Structure 1
Amino acid sequence: MILLSFDIEEFDMPFEYGKSLDFDEQLAVSTEGTLAVLDILREAGIKATFYCTANYAKHKQDVVKQIVAEGHELASHGYFHSEFIPAHLASSKKVLEELFDTPVSGYRMARMMPVDEREIQKAGYKYNSSINPTWLPGRYNNFDRPRKWFWQDGVLQLPASVSPLIRFPLFWLSFHNLPMFLIKWISGATYNKDGYLNLYFHPWEFTDLHKPEKYGFPGYVMRNTGDDFIARIKDFISWAQGKGYQFKRTGDFAADIIQKSRKQ
């Protein structure tokens, strides 16, 4: 099973590199990428999960309505992408459910940062996918966390996929910088070991990021973005379907685990 997910947010990543964009442009970049992602999924005939900030959703309701109408899962990515208080866990869920008349059972913290699982549970989420169980300088130090799904404080945890043994991350930057044959080899080995892959991307990756004067991104962020990344993800999906791997919304995958746990 492959769980494809996309984090829709105000495109504020340039802020991390000393740049700034006005809010309308942040929304426009994320929207351009989201529409490209929807085209890819529709062409492949697969469903995915979109973790969306309430801030983006309130300003781009037509886009999020399209996501839901096309059968994809809507989950929470917090209220704002660059601001967090525990109350945002419940308020973002409430906004998404009321605006789009769909249940929101999943959460992912912005930038995969730590979040109190007791607060996640109190806000009413069934699963959390906010852990990258690897080590990256200045970002993650999660070698002590399980690689595969586990329970914590009554919430199902779905870490992002990493390879067996050395825990090489199968996250968005890997898909930009590694040769596709290597991505497929690591993905296949991880799938065979774990029985599933949990992969996450951002819609803005599907736009042209080769604008160093505007965004300030280093080469490893800009590499293979826009049309090149669209081609890469299409190629990956085709490869996975050729291997007989199935795609599933994260919430459906989580619901199956929860149901089996209740029967035990």
Structure 2
Amino acid sequence: MILLTFNIVNIEAPAQKGSEISYEDRLNITIDNTKAILRILDLHDIKASFFIEISIAGKLKNMIKAISSQGHEIAFYNKDSQADFIEETKKETEYFLEKQVRGIRQKDLIISPEILKMAGFNYISRIDHAHVLFPLKRLKTTTKITEEDGLSIIPESISPYSQLPYNDFVFQFLPVKFYQNMVFETLKNDDFVLIYLDSWQFTDLKKHCFSVPFYRRLNAGKKMEDKLDALLSWINEKELATSRVKDYIF
């Protein structure tokens, strides 16, 4: 099973010298990038899970409604929000969506499963930092779903052969053919592959003057759209099963 997921986050990179990019500009870029992702998913009739960064969720209500109305899952991505704000945002989102938000993703600030269970979450998706030294660090990392304090804990997926994780950096960096082979081989060994991408990767960095490292500019913007389109075409061609995270877990 392929679990395709997207982190909907504002691009954090500073503006290039002599340029200024406001918070509203960043928010509008995030909306445009998300629309591009939705368009590609719709083209291939594939459903995914969208992890909305909690601090911007209240400003993306129309976007969240559009994502949900197209049959995709709405979940949260916690970058640096505290438990009270997470619970408040969850209730507000569930109210206007008229649907339960079951999942939350964490990386830097880790809220305990016990607290998240009390807030009404059913699963936690854990991800790590994406950088060039990740392979050796992950050699002993489990890829099995476990349970903690009544919540399902979903780890990052890692290729058992290349030891590469299925994170945003790897997808952007690797050739599509190599990535497809990695997914195919992993599915022979594991029950699922969880793939995650960040919405900021779809930013047109030629149009928007962000100061982004050269290795992060590679294949960004339209090239990321093309790579995602190629991956989804391949998934359908090979008739590989996909699922929203909440459907797979429950």
Shift of 1:87: 2.2
- Deviating more after overlay: 36-45 vs 239-248: 239-248
Q: Over aligned residues, Cα RMSD in angstroms?
A: 2.8
- Over 3 Å counting, the alpha-carbon distance change for 1:218 and 1:211 in structure 2 is farther
Matched, 1:104 2:86: no
Q: CA deviation at 1:195?
A: 2.3
State TM-score, norm by structure 1.
Answer: 0.84
Take 2:168 and 2:15, find their aligned partners in 1: how far apart are those partners?
17
Q: In 2, Cα distance between the equivalents of 1:123 and 1:99?
A: 17
Shift of 1:9: 2.4
Partner of 1:41: 41
Q: Which residue of 2 aligns with 1:178?
A: 174
State the partner residue of 1:8.
8
Deviation at 1:200, TM superposition (A): 0.6
1:195 aligns with 2:194: no
Q: Secondary structure at the match of 1:169?
A: coil
Cα separation, 1, equivalents of 2:20 and 2:238: 43
Indicate whether 1:162 and 2:173 are aligned.
no
> Which residue identity lines up with residue 100 of structure 2 in the other structure?
P
Matches of 1:16 and 1:115, distance apart in 2: 31
Read off the aligned partner of 1:59 and give its amino acid letter. Answer: K
Structure 1 residues 185 and 166: CA distance shift in structure 2, 3 A: closer
From the superposition, tell whether residues 20 and 103 of structure 1 become closer, same or farther in structure 2 (CA, over 3 Å): farther
1:64 and 2:60 matched: no
Give the CA deviation at 1:112.
5.7
1:76–1:106 CA contact under 8 A, matched in 2: yes
Structure 1 residue matching 2:13: 3-state secondary structure: helix
Q: Residue 206 of structure 1: CA displacement?
A: 1.6
Distance 2:132 2:151 in 1: 25
Whole-Å separation in 1 of the counterparts to 2:162 and 2:117 = 31
- 2:148 maps to 152
Query: Does 2:83 align with 1:86?
Result: yes
- Range with bigger deviation, 123-132 or 164-173: 164-173
Indicate the SS of the match to 1:102: coil
- Residues 1:27 and 1:163: Cα distance change in structure 2 (over 3 Å): same
Q: Is the 8 A contact 1:149 1:159 kept in 2?
A: yes
Structure-2 separation of matches of 1:134 and 1:62: 30
Q: Where in structure 1 are there 5+ consecutive unaligned residues? A: 256-264
Counterpart among 226, 230, 234 of residue 235 in structure 1: 230
Identity between Structure 1 and Structure 2 (%): 25
Asked whether the equivalents of residues 17 and 216 of structure 1 are also in contact (C-alpha less than 8 Å), the reply is yes
Q: Aligned residue for 1:209? A: 205
Task: State the alpha-carbon separation in 1 of the partners of residues 179 and 76 from structure 2.
Answer: 28
- In the TM superposition, residue 243 of structure 1 has moved relative to its aligned partner by 1.7
How far has the Cα of 1:20 moved from its partner?
7.3
The corresponding residue for 2:246 is 251
Higher helix share: 1
Structure 2: gaps of 5 or more residues: none
CA distance in 1, matches of 2:55, 2:97: 14
Greater CA drift, 199-208 or 245-254: 199-208
Aligned to 1:224: 219
